[in-house]
Amino acid sequence: MTVWKQITRHMRNTFGNIFTLTTFGESHGEAVGGVVDGLPAGIDIDIDFIQSELDRRRPGQSIVTTSRNEADRVEILSGTFEGKSTGCPIGFIVRNTNQHSADYDNMRDLFRPSHADFTYYNKYGIRDYRGGGRSSARITISRCVGGALAKLALKKIGVEVVAYTSQVGSIALDNDYTRYDLTQVESNIVRCPDTMVAKEMEDLIASIKAKGDTIGGIITCVIKGCPPGLGEPEFGKLHAQLGAAMLGINAVKGFEYGEGFGCVATKGSQQNDVFRNEEGRITTASNHSGGIQGGISNGQDIYFRVAFKPVATILQEQETVDLEGNHTTLKARGRHDPCVLPRAVPIVEAMAAMVILDNWLASKTVKL
Q: What is the pLDDT of residues 326-360, one digit of tens each?
A: 998 888 776 678 999 999 999 999 999 999 999 99
Contact 209, 338 (CB under 8 A): yes
Share of the chain residues as helix, strand and coil, in percent rounded to the nearest 5: 35, 25, 45
pLDDT for res 101:
55
Contact 356, 161 (CB under 8 A): yes
Rounded to an integer, the average pLDDT of 166-173 is 98
Query: In angstroms, what CA-CA distances link 340 with 70, 146, 226, 309, 330?
Result: 16, 20, 28, 9, 22
pLDDT for res 367:
80
pLDDT for res 64:
82
pLDDT for res 119:
87
Asked whether the predicted pLDDT for residue 60 surpasses 90, the reply is: no
pLDDT for res 1:
46
Of 33-37, 235-239, 325-329, the one with minimum mean pLDDT is 325-329
Asked whether the predicted pLDDT for residue 11 surpasses 70, the reply is: no
pLDDT for res 353:
98
pLDDT for res 3:
53
Of 309 and 101, the structure prediction assigns the larger pLDDT to 309
Rounded to an integer, the average pLDDT of 105-112 is 78
Of 125-139, 289-303, 310-324, the one with minimum mean pLDDT is 125-139
Share of the chain above pLDDT 90, in %: 70
Of 61-70, 200-209, 229-238, 330-339, the one with minimum mean pLDDT is 61-70
What is the pLDDT confidence band of residue 226, given thresholds at 50, 70 and 90?
Answer: very high
pLDDT for res 100:
56
Asked whether the predicted pLDDT for residue 200 surpasses 60, the reply is: yes
Most confident option among 114-128, 245-259, 312-326: 245-259
pLDDT for res 114:
84
SS3 201: helix
| H-state helical runs in the chain | 3-11, 47-57, 117-124, 140-155, 195-210, 238-247, 268-271, 341-363
Contact 17, 231 (CB under 8 A): no
| pTM score, whole prediction | 0.92
Q: Which domains does the chain have, with CATH numbers?
A: 3-363 (3.60.150.10)
Which amino acid is residue 209, in one-letter code? K
Mean pLDDT, rounded, of the chain: 90
DSSP 186: G
